[in-house]
Amino acid sequence: MTLRSEQADRPAVLTPDPAYNVPAYRSSGKRAPHQPLYPLPLGATERHGPTFGHLSLTDVDADLTRQHAGEPIGERIIVAGRVIDGAGRPLRQSLVEIWQANATGRYDHPVDQHPAPLDPNFTGAGRCLTGDDGSYQFITIKPGAYPWGNHPNAWRPAHIHFSVFGRAFTDRLVTQMYFPGDPLFAYDPIFGSVRDEAARTRLVSNLDLGLSRPEWALGYRFDIVVSGPLATPDVS
């Protein structure tokens, strides 16, 4: 847990975010800031943020299994949840973007050249706007685990990347959703960079049979809670 604000006129907000410099995650070595951060007072720019309600997104944008001529290989899943603030209030018309590896663990990206096949019927990118209750839903393929060069025999647990814009600049969040019970959790320095166990658990989706569609797809629920100071009720 890091202390977010040391300003006397604002309550300190504890965030579960990882530290910047995490030696076990090698890429942070030359990229993590070393100087202490300054607390940014909430000026007009921080209290506003880009809004995307004008975008005309379609069902296909949120259905990663229908973006090509044929169906992708792999386990079809439904991923759904709500985007809310710390008080449980829904964030409406918020843009949610996801991207992920295919069922073999391969990304549709020129730098990912590890020996696993691409799927001509799967790009792995989706987007949608949340509804009035903050809800979103994607249909996709369960991504595979994949090797990376961080340390010998390093493998990332299966995950889906999420990008969320809330109501304000302070709400902006990029994170990763994991799947319950993944045996790779204990070996992954990115998952492990979140030191607080309860916070780490919030990165893991829950199998939800109510969301599942019989004979068709399992459902995983993943709620996203943004922590921007605007979300705190006693901060105006």
Q: Which residues carry out catalysis?
A: 107, 146, 156, 159, 161
Nearest residue (CB) to other proteins, 25 versus 179: 25
Containing H/E element for 69? none
Instruction: Determine if 82 is a binding residue for other proteins (CB under 8 A).
Output: no
Contact 164, 224 (CB under 8 A): yes
Region binding other proteins by CB under 8 A among candidate stretches 65-73, 106-114, 134-142, 209-217: 106-114
Structure tokens of 137? 């839903």
Instruction: Give the one residue of 24, 27, 70, 117 binding other proteins; rule: CB under 8 A.
Output: 27
CB of 132 to other proteins, least distance (A): 18
The b-or-e profile of 211-225 (16+ CB within 10 A means b, else e) is beeeeebbbbebbbb
CB of 54 to other proteins, least distance (A): 7
Instruction: Give the one residue of 63, 97, 182, 208 binding other proteins; rule: CB under 8 A.
Output: 97
Instruction: Determine if 221 is a binding residue for other proteins (CB under 8 A).
Output: no
Instruction: Give the one residue of 8, 69, 111, 186 binding other proteins; rule: CB under 8 A.
Output: 111
Instruction: Determine if 194 is a binding residue for other proteins (CB under 8 A).
Output: yes
CB of 120 to other proteins, least distance (A): 14
Beta-strand pair 218-221/224-226: unpaired
Instruction: Give the one residue of 66, 86, 187, 235 binding other proteins; rule: CB under 8 A.
Output: 86
Instruction: Determine if 63 is a binding residue for other proteins (CB under 8 A).
Output: no
Beta-strand pair 218-221/76-85: parallel
Instruction: Determine if 197 is a binding residue for other proteins (CB under 8 A).
Output: no
Nearest residue (CB) to other proteins, 159 versus 217: 159
Give the whole-angstrom CA distance, residue 24 versus residue 150. Answer: 8
Q: How many residues bind other proteins (CB under 8 A)?
A: 80
Contact 112, 144 (CB under 8 A): no
Tokens 């990332």 sit on residue: 156
With CA atoms as reference, report the closest residue to 90 among 132, 57, 147: 132
Give the whole-angstrom CA distance, residue 210 versus residue 213. Answer: 8
Which residues from 137-156 bind other proteins, rule CB under 8 A?
none
